[in-house]
Amino acid sequence: MMPLFKFIIIITLVSCGGGGGGPSGSNNVVIPNNNPYLYVPPSGKSRDNCISRSASNTWSEDFNDIELDNSKWSFDEGCNNNGGGCNGNNEYQNYTSNDKDNLFIEDGVLKIQAINEVNTGSDNVTQNYTSAKIMTKDKFPIEHNSRVSICFRVPEGTGLWPALWMLPFDNSPWPSGGEIDLIEAKGRAYSVDGSPSQSNIVSSAVHFGTQWPDNKYIVGEFYSSNENTFQNYFHSVTMIFQEDKIDLYIDDEVTPHLTVNPTIYPLNQYTYPFNRQFYLIMNVAVGGNFDGGRVEASEICIDAECSNFEANPDKKRLLIDWIEYEKLR
């Protein structure tokens, strides 16, 4: 099935919660960008709409083992309420490290699911949902002059908030250190209060600023056809990460749905924070500010088997088929 896409670029000035923290470091890598890289999507497909695989990867993850590779990934746990509610976004889940319930690998696909269950997390906060969040923090940095591609499918369910994103590898504070959101999606599959169904919409963004609450962000949204949604089929996101430039693409599109550089307003009013190493994060949140706090408990799994949706439990899970990281030069 050939997808029919349209895209829109949105620039927004708001304050919101979230992000990492900690002391800043000095392991930034900056490579001169005298000869910008021109991205040409590979021909062919790997799964559904995902681009074909590359033979020149620097690092890749295919989830071929039955257990998560601890040399590549670590878990984040708990609520992480440092202000602004859990994870700075008023989220309703505790992240766990139970990779048999909230995260598991099946048939070569990583699956992350939120579960409707009361849980007291590692930081002693009680929440009504559990989920999983994994990251390459302190294990593998993503550097300039590189390509990152991920083949994914997002879950359906009002309140589910899947995200593939990055924070500074040197733990620079948020938001001045920058945040790169490769993909975020809302699980709501129906229209409400003038907002359309989200099943065919994903967004990418960058966050920047000085100190909280001075958070600004720039967003690019991408729309699929209604017959080829992000909740029903695998799609890929590709980031071309260069000094002073970030481009994000869906599937084999030749035009990025989000381009970021130091000259774009309002980023040109701040120190450009993205000329540093980052690490990758993948998670599914519940509730929070992203879709106005909407949550429908009946649309979320009630146990590890997702037995309330036994006909198609994967419909409620973030699915990751593969990840590629390639140094371009």
Beta bridge pairs of residue 95: 78, 131
Q: Where are the beta strands (DSSP E) in 109-234?
A: 109-113, 115-120, 126-131, 133-135, 146-153, 160-168, 179-184, 201-209, 215-223
Beta bridge pairs of residue 262: none
Beta bridge pairs of residue 204: 220
Give catalytic status of residue 117 as yes or no.
Answer: no
Catalytic one of 156, 184, 299, 324? 184
- Per DSSP, helices labelled H in 66-132 are none
Torsion of CA 200, 205, 211, 214, to 10 degrees: -70
Torsion of CA 3, 4, 10, 16, to 10 degrees: -30
At 60, which helix (H) or strand (E)? Answer: strand 59-61
Give catalytic status of residue 184 as yes or no.
Answer: yes
| Joined tokens for residue 103 | 């995260």
Q: How many CB atoms lie within 10 A of CB 123?
A: 12
Beta bridge pairs of residue 246: 241, 260
Residues contacting residue 302 through CB under 8 Å, at least 6 positions apart: 115, 116, 117, 308
Q: Strand pairing of 317-327 and 258-260?
A: unpaired
What is d(CA 251, CA 202) in angstroms, rounded to the nearest whole number?
Answer: 12
Catalytic one of 179, 221, 227, 326? 179
CA nearest to 238, candidates 260, 217, 254, 221: 254
Q: Indicate the residue type of 58.
A: T
Q: Strand pairing of 126-131 and 93-95?
A: parallel
What amino acid positions are annotated as catalytic residues?
179, 184
